[in-house]
Amino acid sequence: MGLFTRDIKTLQDLFDHGLRDIYYAENQILKALPKLIDAATNPQLKKGLKDHLAETENQVSRLEQIFEMREEKPNGTKCPGINGLLKEGDDLTGNIADKNVLDAAIIASAQAVEHYEITRYGALIAWAKQIGRNDFADILGANLEEEKSADNKLSTIAESRVNAKASGRRASRKTTPARRKPAARQRTRRKAA
């Protein structure tokens, strides 16, 4: 059946495969993150990646907890999706000489991986609930929240400094959105009337 090593006939089979898939993915990410940490030059980015490395170690432990609850040895299924994303990120970051542009590429590559994980965890949570394993869904939910948080932190780092530096511009401070100014003018007009 395509990329799968065995036929998947039930939602339980699909959950089993997905659990092994994400377990493999998280372990591959654990191997890839130190290289990104070493390559990053922005202090916030470096710290964010280090923090997420620790979170990823905890995520692997949570997945191992599910395997233990199932009375199984933790086992991954080779995941071409994560392998492709990690290889693409490695190829991209390996070809950039400008450190500011490299930081922007690291963020983009890391976010591609985060989005993959968010998708996988979301599906696994839905499937776990459907097969009556809310206990698994709760554990997977903790991982999902960390992935979403990591993605948001990466966006903040990119938008606050990294992308501006990569473009050769100074990072600008956030200003009041233009749409708020007309409302302030309206209040002033009401007082005058």
Binned at pLDDT 50, 70 and 90, residue 1 comes out as: very low
What pLDDT shows up at residue 7? 81
What percentage of the chain carries pLDDT values higher than 70? Answer: 84
Its pTM stands at 0.84
- Side-chain-facing half-sphere of 147: CA atoms under 13 Å: 22
- Fold (topology level) of 11-171: Ferritin (1.20.1260)
Extents of the domains making up the chain: 11-171
**Chain-wide mean pLDDT for the chain?**
88
Binned at pLDDT 50, 70 and 90, residue 90 comes out as: very high
- Side-chain-facing half-sphere of 161: CA atoms under 13 Å: 10
Binned at pLDDT 50, 70 and 90, residue 169 comes out as: confident
Three-point CA angle 121, 123, 126, nearest 5°? 110
Whether 49 has a pLDDT exceeding 60, the answer reads: yes
What residue type is 25 in one-letter code? A
Binned at pLDDT 50, 70 and 90, residue 182 comes out as: very low
What pLDDT shows up at residue 95? 86
- Rounded to whole angstroms, the Cα distance separating 90 from 80 reads 15
